Structure 1
Amino acid sequence: MANRERKIYMLSKKNVDYIEELKEKRDLKYNSEALDLIIREHRTNSDMTTEVMIKLIGEKLAEQLKSELLGIKKASNETDKNTQIIIELLNGLFVKNGYKTLATTDDIKCETIDRTRKIVEERIAKKRVAKLDREY
């Protein structure tokens, strides 16, 4: 404790009582030692608190993203599975009926395609709204 300076500070009665209480608890000789200890602990805890806070925020964010990404992954897997089933069914129909070539939607577009797309988009939107309602 060689680098010590004498300073005069005005403190509230409550803070002075706290310093004296800490001095007695820790068996310190002077109030200034207790105040030094309080400041050292505050510095350590402030640095630690920032690190802990950053770590906690990171963990919470990762947890939140993980659940969101899991939902996207499940939906993607389900969509992929359904697409593969449809391709297999269509392939079976084409082979059974002996189709060699087919017109694409670029060549001819049936209005049923547009109507079906609209129905599916509305169904997806309703499911999304229902899910959001359940979450809140």
Structure 2
Amino acid sequence: MDAILEEHKELNKNHWNLQYIAQTVAHTVNERISTELNRVRLGTNNTDRNTQILIELLQGFMQLRNVEHIPTIDLYKPEFLIHAENTVKERIAHQKQRKHSRQ
């Protein structure tokens, strides 16, 4: 009977330790994921805000110039747009390289 009681105490102790470890790991993972998701959310909000500003500026410019119709990109893709797209792609690639080199 004493052996069974001792075994029961040991199992309860181990079970408590496993629960504590699981809770600690879950808490740590939750904190890190929350931090990263917060960074992504802030970046997305900033991008959305900048996009809305650009749309407002473009709309104001088009109204000022009385532009009624515009050629779409599938009809005509100007050289300046190709240059801007390439610049952005290069900037993103450079930032990815810097990020990977820090890790």
Pair in the same fold by TM > 0.5: yes
**TM superposition score normalised by structure 2:** 0.83
1:45 Cα deviation from its structure 2 partner:
1.4
Alpha-carbon separation, structure 2, partners of 1:133 and 1:71: 20
- The yes-or-no answer on 1:82 pairing with 2:45 is no
Alpha-carbon separation, structure 1, partners of 2:83 and 2:6: 73
Alpha-carbon separation, structure 1, partners of 2:88 and 2:24: 41
Q: Which has the higher contact order (CA 8 A, sep 6+)?
A: 1
Structure ranking higher in helix proportion: 2
- The yes-or-no answer on 1:123 pairing with 2:91 is yes
1:36 Cα deviation from its structure 2 partner:
6.3
Residue segments in structure 2 that go unaligned for 5+ positions in a row: none
Residue segments in structure 1 that go unaligned for 5+ positions in a row: 5-32
Residue 23 of structure 2 corresponds to 55
Tell me the C-alpha RMSD between the 2 structures.
2.0
Alpha-carbon separation, structure 2, partners of 1:52 and 1:114: 56
1:83 Cα deviation from its structure 2 partner:
0.4
Alpha-carbon separation, structure 1, partners of 2:93 and 2:41: 19
Question: Residues 84-109 of structure 1: CA distance to partner in whole angstroms, max 9, x if unpaired?
Answer: 11101101110111101111112211
Alpha-carbon separation, structure 2, partners of 1:54 and 1:85: 46
Structure number with greater Rg is 1
Aligned residues: 103
- Identity in percent: 26
Pairing partner for 1:94 from 62, 71, 78: 62
